[in-house]
Amino acid sequence: MSTEKKDRLGMSSRAVHAGEPRNHYADAITTPIFQTSTFVFRNSDEIEEYTKHKKERFEYGRYGNPTELIAQNRLADLEGAEDCVVLSSGMMAITTTILSLVRTGDHIVITDDSYKKTLEFCRSYLKRFGIECTIVPFGDYDALEGSIKSNTRFIFSESPTNPYLNVFDLKLLKEIADRHGVITLIDSTIATPINQRPLELGIDLVTHSATKYLAGHNDILAGAVMGRKDLIAPIRNLHKSMGGLIDPHCCYLLLRGLKTFPMRVERQNDTALQVARFLEGHPDIQRVYYPLLESHQHYSIAREQMKGGGCVVTFEMKGGIDEAKRFMDSLEMIFIGPSFGGAETLITHPATVSYYDYTREERYELGIIDTLFRLAVGLEDVDDIIADLQGALERARR
């Protein structure tokens, strides 16, 4: 198929075909897993073609692998990016991207609602190398603009965020960044390329934890960064030195997961909205956070910027810690565990898991109350998910 024709395909077709030559080794229909660490030269002429004449080919596993290359091309296509690097985890994508951009004496800006480990990396590790970090409250665009200095290199944020699904106005972010000539980075993991298109709004670099929706089966860890070729090239180069490589078998599983990615996300968008409405109407529920519920503080930005609300629904029960534990312990189908975007519906209880080492006062200051839950709907039937929640809520009251 011509490139031009391929460009006109829809997201589901591209999720199956993009970024891959039509003819595979041995005419296999699936992408071969090139389980090799090295690629051989037939003779000295081939070495010369590679070194002197810059012929593109594979040489050593850390510098590239055909299965990895196809995964990178497919993800670039789905995000609408010129180029993409696939790495061993979402954190590897974030840290490698940041390190490729900064040098001693630089200043960076990050919003306070960011992923815990991203914040820790910016706040603690970068400081050791003389990189100053300002953390601004999410949603305070004046504070954000006010924090920019002459040595500010980039602004990093997420949209939507975890666990309250706050939505960043990406157009406004782009305007602010342009006024000061700084680079913009968005962790778009919770949105996916189906529900949000940051690059089309002018954002410079997008990162994903491909562990979540992109792979989609709770079976691998992977990460990706996408953007313009000139910004991706130094990230790829640093990646080859850092060595946080993803292995070819993981790339295969990522490509396999991607084939159903658009269908899965559309289904999860539908299910999550129904579950959010059910919870909002339930007498034992105090509050629900979902970007496409009219009650969400960023509903209007979400409506404008997002095609769907995604699979994460956060809610607060009425009652206290005992009711919360009884509810969690009464679930029959839904698993208790971190992550989201996979086939299985998962629930987490931030107060006893991610914030177990905070005092109750510290947690409450952040809004992490005893009865807060983050639900990540999977691919099960919506009626079964709702029935499981309803049954557990009933048993929690007793």
Ligand X SMILES: *Cc1c(COP(=O)(O)O)cnc(C)c1O
Measured from the CB atom, the residue of 107 and 212 that comes closer to ligand X is 212
CA distances from 27 to 20, 32, 78 (A): 13, 10, 25
Residue 53 host element (H or E): none
Our finding on whether 247 is near ligand X (CB under 6 A) is no
Nearest to residue 153, comparing CAs of 172, 171, 170, 132?
132
Site string for ligand X, 168-207 (x = CB under 6 A): -------------------x-xx-----------------
CB of 222 to ligand X, least distance (A): 7
Output the smallest distance, CB 104 to ligand X, in A: 26
User: Tokens at residue 368, please?
Assistant: 């992490």
CB of 25 to ligand X, least distance (A): 30
120 beta partners? none
| Closest CB to ligand X among residues 119, 321 | 119
Beta strand 132-136 with 107-111 is parallel
Cα 36 to Cα 61: distance, rounded to the nearest angstrom: 7
Contact flag: residue 65 with ligand X (CB under 6 A): no
Sheet strand arrangement including 346-348: 285-289, 312-317, 372-376, 346-348, 335-336
> Pick from 34, 115, 154, 252: which binds ligand X (CB under 6 A)?
115
Contact call for residue 113 and ligand X (CB under 6 A): no
Residue 47: CB atoms within 10 A of its CB come to 12
| From 83, 145, 158, 169, residue interacting with ligand X (rule: CB under 6 A) | 158
Specify whether the CB–CB gap between 235 and 223 falls below 8 A: no
Dump the DSSP string for 95-108.
Answer: HHHHHHH--TT-EE
Where helices occur in 125-281 by DSSP H, the ranges are 141-146, 170-180, 192-195, 229-242, 248-258, 261-280
Q: How many CB atoms lie within 10 A of CB 302?
A: 25
Query: Are the C-beta atoms of 370 and 324 separated by less than 8 Å?
Result: yes
227 close to 204: Cβ distance less than 8 angstroms? yes
Nearest approach in angstroms of CB 327 to ligand X is: 24
Q: How far is the CB of 174 from ligand X (least distance, A)?
A: 20
Number of residues that bind ligand X (CB under 6 A): 14
The stretch among 83-91, 269-277, 302-310, 359-367 that binds ligand X (CB under 6 A) is 83-91
Is 91 near ligand X (CB under 6 A)? yes
Nearest residue to ligand X, scored by beta-carbon proximity: 90
Examine residue 89 and tell whether it contacts ligand X (CB under 6 A): yes
CB 275 within 8 A of CB 390: no
Residue choice 195, 211, 269, 345 for contact with ligand X (CB under 6 A): 211
Instruction: Determine the interface stretch with ligand X among 139-147, 208-216, 259-267, 296-304 (rule: CB under 6 A).
Output: 208-216
The residue from 157, 209, 345, 371 that contacts ligand X (CB under 6 A) is 209
Indicate the residue among 162 and 317 with the shorter CB distance to ligand X. 162
Nearer to ligand X, 83 or 158 (CB): 158
User: Between 66 and 90, whose beta carbon lies closer to ligand X?
Assistant: 90
Between 297 and 354, name the residue whose CB sits nearer to ligand X: 354
Q: Which is nearer to ligand X, 168 or 327 (CB)?
A: 168
Q: Footprint of ligand X on this chain (CB under 6 A)?
A: 89-91, 115, 158, 162, 187, 189-190, 209, 211-212, 221, 223
